[in-house]
Amino acid sequence: MPRLDTTTQFITVVIICLTLLSLVQGALVARRRKDAFPLRPIAAYASIPTMVGTAIEAGRPVHVSVANTGLGGSNTLLTLASAELFYQTAVRAEPTILTANDPLVLPLSYVLLQRAYARRGHADRFSGRYLRWYPAPAQPLAFAGALTTTLSADQVSGSILLGNFGSELALVLDAANRRKQGSIASSVDLTGQAVAYALAGDTLIGEEMFVAGAYLGDNTAQRGAVVALDTLRWLLIGAIVVYTFVSLYEPVRTALLGGG
């Protein structure tokens, strides 16, 4: 494994320290003043209240599906992010159906659904029958086919599709569009993300999947972390622009003067 030179190591340490400092400071500021820094608008999160309101008026469930995720592997963070969005949706919509193709997602979802009912003061209405396991991890088309059946059989009002979908996502979104059901989709797979961007009503892109707690919940620490990361992103872009300008200035200046 190649070793990093001293300069690269120093820059890496500085970036990590600045990131941690920004996260801590952002969380402290957000805890004192929740509206101190506005969050960057994300259309998908803004549309969830509308999806939930439509479902409540129609007396239909909201459907959340997570594909090819699980705990204890490379998809653990993705699983936790999807579970957070499921919880925030379940707090708002009753009932909320969860479909998954990994059995390890079910215990976590069971606890979160129970918490959502308790938070609404409806703990006596809790039922695990809204958690569905379709055991087809190696057959994405079979899982997509099961989801299209869920859209029809349960007459869902809208669907939030997250995880590691591939091209089979088109089958589910097409079924939702034909039934005029709302949809929000996102995938860590580039093919699935392209399908989501083309067919879904709204799309979560990249790190937007991991900030549901900040946009839909009341966790000030998460809110401050999102603001800090957005700020660091713009600072990094600015640093790249300045570095590029400085790097090109002298060669261009020499070439122009030499040519003159």
43-210 carries CATH number 3.40.50:
yes
According to the model, what pLDDT value does residue 28 have? 57
Locate tokens 């007396």: which residue?
59
According to the model, what pLDDT value does residue 8 have? 65
According to the model, what pLDDT value does residue 1 have? 44
- Could you give phi then psi for residue 99, rounded to 5 degrees? -120, 140
Query: Cα(first)–Cα(last) distance of the chain, in Å?
Result: 48
DSSP assignment of 50-89: HHHHHHHHHT--EEEEEES--SSSTTHHHHHHHHHHHHHH
Q: What is the pTM of this model?
A: 0.78
According to the model, what pLDDT value does residue 124 have? 86
How many angstroms separate the CA atoms of 61 and 150, rounded? 11
Domain chopping of the chain, boundaries: 26-40+217-241, 43-210
CA distances from 223 to 35, 110, 169, 186 (A): 10, 26, 30, 21
Q: Which helix (H) or strand (E) holds 211?
A: none
According to the model, what pLDDT value does residue 203 have? 94
- Mean pLDDT, the chain cut into blocks of 10 residues (260 residues total): 60 66 58 63 91 92 88 79 90 90 87 90 86 81 90 92 91 94 93 94 88 80 72 78 80 67
How many angstroms separate the CA atoms of 41 and 223, rounded? 13
